[in-house]
Amino acid sequence: MAAAAPVVEATGITKRFGSTVALHEAGITIEPGQTHALVGRNGAGKSTLVSILTGLQAADEGAVTFAGEPAPRLADRDAWRQRVACVYQKSTIIPELTVAENLFLNRHDHGRTGLIRWKTVRAKARDLLDTWSVDVDVRTPAKELDVEQRQFVEIARALSFGARFIILDEPTAQLDASAINRLFNRIRDLQRQGVTFLFISHHLQEVYEICDTVTVFRDARHVLTAPVDDLPRADLVAAMTGEAASETAGERHGPSADAPDVLTVDSASLPGAYDDVSFRIRAGEIVGLAGAASSGRIEIAETVVGLRAAFGGVVEIAGHRPRPGSVPAALAAGVGFVPQDRHHQGFVPEMSIADNGTLTIPDRLGPAGFIDGRRRDRFARTMIGKLAIKTPGPELPVSGLSGGNQQKVVMARALANDPRLLVLINPTAGVDVRSKEFLLGKVEEVAESGTGVLIASDELDDLRMCDRVLVVFQGRVVAEIPRGWHDHQLVAAMEGVDLDG
Ligand SMILES: Nc1ncnc2c1ncn2[C@@H]1O[C@H](COP(=O)(O)OP(=O)(O)OP(=O)(O)O)[C@@H](O)[C@H]1O
Ligand SMILES: [Mg+2]
């Protein structure tokens, strides 16, 4: 019996954006039933390949086939939808519409009167979600879905078009541990039903957990494809970075004994989010705020930076009490921060990297209110170099950067204004392994120079360097864990399990 043709095969793909070569004679072959990982550093060309495999962009050179047949014309959207679907990090769902409307957008049943039959649409949507065991009310407006529900709805939508090949571009970046588990169970289920996956992630342990085969891209090129079991992690990282794995930085000193407080939170409460939270951070101290996505850790951090106002209680930053709920007041008191959602709170996509990177420091770049373009560009160039931001130059709009590189711009900006207190929410989401090490090293450096740091994250790698980690569970700080914990200890605490009890 002849082997089945690959579900998809891309060969000799080259794609340029102006002077940037995003893909250079790259390719991938995905066999039926596989869960195939695509990994590489930020800007390696992964999302560009996805846009070509889904027919959103044409390659400059190269060919794509599905099951041995040439890919459809770009204009033939229906033909593409029957072959492949992608669940993007950024939603393609329309927030104002209900789940049912999103599922059957543009293919409503029109009755003889020409009117849409909403009852039929809802019933069909319900059937569809039942078929794939997605437990969501079809009348819910899509904007009320959380990331996990949204992804499941998008997967069901893809399957309903007949596609049996699904691309997941960083699906886990915004999910907490239990949601990731549910997603993986869903993937395994669908795999058994014959669905093939291309899975993109910067969390290499996920590649080992869920994928059979891994392809590595580096600097726009295909570097290797191998069975996951044959490739030790160190070799995988070496393939991604083109260099042997590095040892991580040395010992931290931590805050000195007489370091003053740079943050005091006293008896703060926010109904529905957290309750009676108190803690301090000293100059030079790094404190983690760990917990599941819904634990309240994000809301606590957002309160400190003025994105939310607590009901009662006190937030004091470096001796000031900024007006609650005011970001400008928090910034003026000495806060630098990286918000959770870089698309909505992080930067201005239409503005250049240079302008975005220096948004918070106009007064350091020239006389009040006047920004010296040359000094600004020099500062931006230093950050681009130090953070390995992959771009042709600082004048590029941030929207032209790859996902992880956008995150680095937001980090650069937070580090730029010499804050007294640095507040980071999921700071390394979407950032590749090597850049992650570098950014966290930078945070340690900033702390050594006397800045206090608050890191709200559920990524163990982000929390490892913290002097102590406060664990938030259901809105309350339930544990304080000093440096040197074991992974299972912290994970158990985050899930509300008391190992000592
Ligand atoms: N529309 C665009 N205009 C200009 N440059 C682009 C555009 N899209 C992508 N690029 C560039 O192409 C390169 C590859 O980007 P791509 O988004 O494919 O990277 P990636 O591997 O997905 O990275 P990440 O891990 O950060 O998501 C980057 O240098 C990026 O800046
Ligand atoms: Mg990408």
Residue 501, domain member (yes or no): no
Ligand nearest the Cα atom of residue 432: 1
Q: Is the CB of 15 under 6 A from ligand 1?
A: no
- Both 202 and 288 in one domain: the answer is no
Confidence category of residue 355, pLDDT binned at 50, 70, 90: low
Give 129-165 pLDDT, tens digit per residue.
887 777 888 888 877 888 788 888 888 888 888 889 9
Number of H helices, E strands in the chain: 17, 19
- Ligand 2 midpoint to CA 174 (Å): 14
DSSP string, 361-401: -HHHHSSTT---HHHHHHHHHHHHHHTT---S-TTSBGGGS
- Both 156 and 21 in one domain: the answer is yes
Confidence category of residue 209, pLDDT binned at 50, 70, 90: very high
Q: Is the CB of 43 under 6 A from ligand 1?
A: yes
Q: How many angstroms separate the CA atoms of 340 and 358, rounded?
A: 19
In this predicted structure, the answer to whether residue 243 has a pLDDT above a threshold of 80 is no
Q: What is the DSSP letter of 417?
A: T
Residue 131, domain member (yes or no): no
Residue 103, domain member (yes or no): no
Task: Please give the number of the atom of ligand 1 that sits closest to the Cα of 220.
Answer: 14
Residue nearest to atom 5 of ligand 1 (CA): 400
Q: Is the CB of 288 under 6 A from ligand 1?
A: no
- Both 447 and 299 in one domain: the answer is yes
Q: So what's the pLDDT on residue 457?
A: 92
Most confident of 100-109, 137-146, 373-382, 445-454: 445-454
Q: So what's the pLDDT on residue 394?
A: 60
Mutate to test the pocket of ligand 1, among 16, 23, 47, 396 (most ligand atoms within 8 A of CB): 47
Task: Please give the number of the atom of ligand 1 that sits closest to the Cα of 50.
Answer: 18
The CA-based diameter of the chain, rounded to the nearest angstrom, is 80
Q: So what's the pLDDT on residue 323?
A: 93
- Both 185 and 282 in one domain: the answer is no
C-beta separation of 133 from 156 below 8 A:
no
Of the given ranges (60-64, 169-173, 407-411, 482-486), which has the lowest mean pLDDT? Answer: 407-411
Q: Is the CB of 46 under 6 A from ligand 1?
A: yes
Residue 468, domain member (yes or no): yes
Cα–chain center distance at 107: 32
- Both 385 and 430 in one domain: the answer is yes
241, 269, 298 — which closes off a domain?
241
Q: Is the CB of 102 under 6 A from ligand 1?
A: no
- Both 222 and 279 in one domain: the answer is no
207, 241, 275 — which closes off a domain?
241
Q: How many angstroms separate the CA atoms of 401 and 43, rounded?
A: 8
- More confident call, 346 vs 170: 170
Residue 122, domain member (yes or no): no
pLDDT mean over 66-91 = 87
- Both 390 and 311 in one domain: the answer is yes
pLDDT mean over 96-114 = 58
Residue 336's beta-bridge partner residues?
A: 422
Confidence category of residue 244, pLDDT binned at 50, 70, 90: low
Residue 477, domain member (yes or no): yes
- CATH code for position 344: 3.40.50.300
Helix (H) / strand (E) element for 16: namely: strand 8-17
Q: Would strands 165-169 and 196-200 be described as parallel, antiparallel, or unpaired? A: parallel
- Both 284 and 407 in one domain: the answer is yes
Mutate to test the pocket of ligand 1, among 17, 350, 384, 432 (most ligand atoms within 8 A of CB): 17
C-beta separation of 286 from 441 below 8 A:
no
DSSP string, 210-253: H-SEEEEEETTEEEEEEEGGGS-HHHHHHHHHSSPPPPPP----
Domain span at residue 84? 8-93+145-241
- Both 386 and 414 in one domain: the answer is yes
- Both 392 and 425 in one domain: the answer is yes
Q: Is the CB of 40 under 6 A from ligand 1?
A: yes
209, 241, 273 — which closes off a domain?
241
Q: Is the CB of 401 under 6 A from ligand 1?
A: yes
- Both 488 and 440 in one domain: the answer is yes
Q: How many domains does the chain have?
A: 2
Ligand nearest the Cα atom of residue 44: 1
Q: So what's the pLDDT on residue 122?
A: 82
Residue 499, domain member (yes or no): no
Confidence category of residue 336, pLDDT binned at 50, 70, 90: confident
- More confident call, 479 vs 342: 479
- Both 166 and 72 in one domain: the answer is yes
Q: How many angstroms separate the CA atoms of 172 and 110, rounded?
A: 38
Q: How many angstroms separate the CA atoms of 313 and 370, rounded?
A: 38
Residue 455, domain member (yes or no): yes
